[in-house]
Structure 1
Amino acid sequence: MTNKKLTELPERSTSQTVMVVDDERVVRDVLCMFLERKGYKTVALKDGHSAISMAGKQKPDVIFLDMKMPGLDGIKTCRRLKRVLRSSPGTGIIMITGYDPGMDLESLHASGAIDVISKPFDLKDISRRINIWFEVRDIKSKTIRARKYSEKLDRHLKLGLVR
């Protein structure tokens, strides 16, 4: 995608934060520029250790995480991020890979990633994946609230507080 097309995207205001973790600077720069233009706050990091350290402070809504990085790879980073973010279950981790994502999907999903995108990627697909995650997250949140309400109602029924 060219810079001209990036500037043609509609702006919007959001307080949602997206973290981009990739050892390739061009990938970080393109994704962050695109996401900022879409209204997201971005945090760009080049390795897994930095992501783990920053995630505890930033509590991002979405993390795009390169699967193959020097040092701590994406799978190990994802597992550690899930531990760091266990108090923030609303963070979705989407893996980015230049390799065939089908080669290790079991490890990918076991690590806690919600999705995988292959390089080279279409920036429109990035938006779709983020929107899908936000919809899933909202549905999960509503389901949890409904379950809690149902449990409370059951307790009140058993106590005779509600008929």
Structure 2
Amino acid sequence: MSGRVLVVDDSKVIRQLIRVNLELEGFEVVTAADGAECLEIVERVRPDVITLDVVMPRLDGLRTAERLRAGERTRDIPLAIVSACTQAELEGERVRAAGADAFLAKPFEPVELVRTVRGLAGARADRCRGAQTPARPPVRADRAV
């Protein structure tokens, strides 16, 4: 099972690291350098999953997540926050309120990144096929938000 992932991070190195790991697993990857660019391309790209850094110029990841959740065409796209900030530092409630489905702390293990994205993409595919699944199932109990 693969799909299209929109990777949003202001660090070119991190975007490339995520891209390579996901492409090796069969995902198609499109990147954006910040939240504003993400919002500009998301409807054209139509990703199955979006990974969002939190600290970015122009528009941060949590505000981007809030705007994605407010959009009729983007509200159901699974979102994974991938951040050097810990979930506690980001105030877990704020992450949940922004609509994130999963959280990965940087530095992350590539296998954990792939597992998280694959889980989110699979859950979305199940919903698109009409399977009875929760609206936003947690990817892993210890990492889901």
Counterpart for residue 19 of structure 2: 32
> What is the CA–CA distance in structure 1 between the aligned matches of 2:6 and 2:18, rounded to whole Å?
10
What runs of 5+ residues in structure 1 fail to find an aligned partner?
1-12, 145-163
Larger Rg: 1
Counterpart for residue 143 of structure 1: 132
Counterpart for residue 98 of structure 2: 111
Q: Is the 8 A contact 2:68 2:75 kept in 1?
A: no
Structure with the bigger RCO (C-alpha within 8 Å, sep 6+) is: 2
CA RMSD of aligned residues (A): 1.9
> What is the CA–CA distance in structure 2 between the aligned matches of 1:135 and 1:20, rounded to whole Å?
17
TM-score by length of 1: 0.72
Check 1:138–1:40 CA distance in 2 against 1; reply closer, same or farther (3 A cut).
Answer: closer
Moved over 2 A (4+): 86-90, 134-141
Shift of 1:80: 1.1
Identity of aligned pairs, percent?
28
Query: Greater share of helix residues, 1 or 2?
Result: 1
Correspondence for 2:41 among 32, 39, 54: 54
Shift of 1:83: 2.6
What runs of 5+ residues in structure 2 fail to find an aligned partner?
134-145
Whether 2:87 is the aligned partner of 1:98: answer no
Shift of 1:100: 1.4
